Amino acid sequence: MRLDVVTIFPEYLEPLNVSLVGKARARGRLNVQVHDLRDWTYDRHNTVDDTPYGGGPGMVMKTDPWGDALDSVLADGYETGSHAPVLIVPTPSGRPFTQELAVELSERPWLIFTPARYEGIDRRVIDEYATRMPVHEVSIGDYVLAGGEAAVLVITEAVARLLPGVLGNAESHRDDSFAPGAMANLLEGPVYTKPPAWRGRGIPDVLLSGHHGKIARWRRDEALKRTTVHRPDLIERCDPKAFDKKDREM
């Protein structure tokens, strides 16, 4: 997978050099190119913004730097063999970013991110590139950030961990809260490791029992409890039959 990011804060994307995404890059699973939008400005102040038509607070990111940057990124990608790009535009007004979308994006060969700042990007830029590729305008949550770079880090990590060979234990993402299966749509329950006692607190006996069926059932029940408290909205999405099937297997 090729991944391009165009931003006025390339240093914000340094975390893409470390941990899971950094390892995926080192292993050649991910080719990440971060581009400074100001490289496509030609005035003395490297201007990327201007006042909004119609008035109102804040500034809007100008068309030309984005158009020149995206044309350059696309030309380079196509020249080096990439194809079928998808444009991802983080925005507070976007559709919620979900695990389902992470899975969909993880199956694409080329993602191009345009994290903006100020009040966002002149609409004509998105409209122009929507004629050439799928565009996903996404929000990572119901809170207001100052720009889209944090969203790029979040989306990139959620997608990269789904790429083949990136997670150490291939099963790890199979039982994710939002992955299909009996634990689908359930939040993870509590986890424990050594020592067996810590400041007078022990481990649930079932986890020391070695009875895999009972352990699986306990974990599912704990996940149900946690989901009921923190995300009751997810309960109705659970497939109760999946539990019965899982019980029969235990």
Ligand X SMILES: CN1CCN(Cc2ccc(Cn3ccc4ccc(-c5n[nH]c(N)c5C#N)cc43)cc2)CC1
Task: By CB under 6 A, name the binding residues for ligand X.
Answer: 57, 90-92, 116-117, 119-120, 139-141, 143-148, 151
Q: How far is the CB of 196 from ligand X (least distance, A)?
A: 41
8 A C-beta contact, residue 34 and residue 16: yes
Least Å distance, CB 5 to ligand X, is 13
Query: Which among 226, 229, 212, 140 has a CA at the least distance from the CA of 183?
Result: 226
Please state the closest distance from residue 146 (CB atom) to ligand X, in A.
Answer: 5
141 or 165: CB nearest ligand X: 141
Handedness of CA 123, 129, 130, 135 (dihedral sign): negative
Closer to ligand X by Cβ: residue 146 or 229: 146
Say how many Å lie between the first and final Cα of the chain, rounded: 38
Task: Identify the three-state secondary structure at position 5.
Answer: strand
Cβ atoms within 10 Å of 182's Cβ, excluding its own: 20
Distance CA 38, CA 44 (A): 11
Nearer to ligand X (CB atom), residue 5 or residue 186: 5
> 49-50 and 60-61 as β-strands: parallel, antiparallel, unpaired?
antiparallel
> CA–CA separation, 188 vs 176, rounded Å?
8
* Residues designated as active site: 92, 119, 161, 176
Nearer to ligand X, 138 or 160 (CB): 138
Handedness of CA 157, 161, 163, 165 (dihedral sign): positive
Q: How far is the CB of 107 from ligand X (least distance, A)?
A: 21
Phi first, then psi, for residue 116 (nearest 5°) are -95, 175
CB of 233 to ligand X, least distance (A): 18
Nearer to ligand X, 141 or 204 (CB): 141
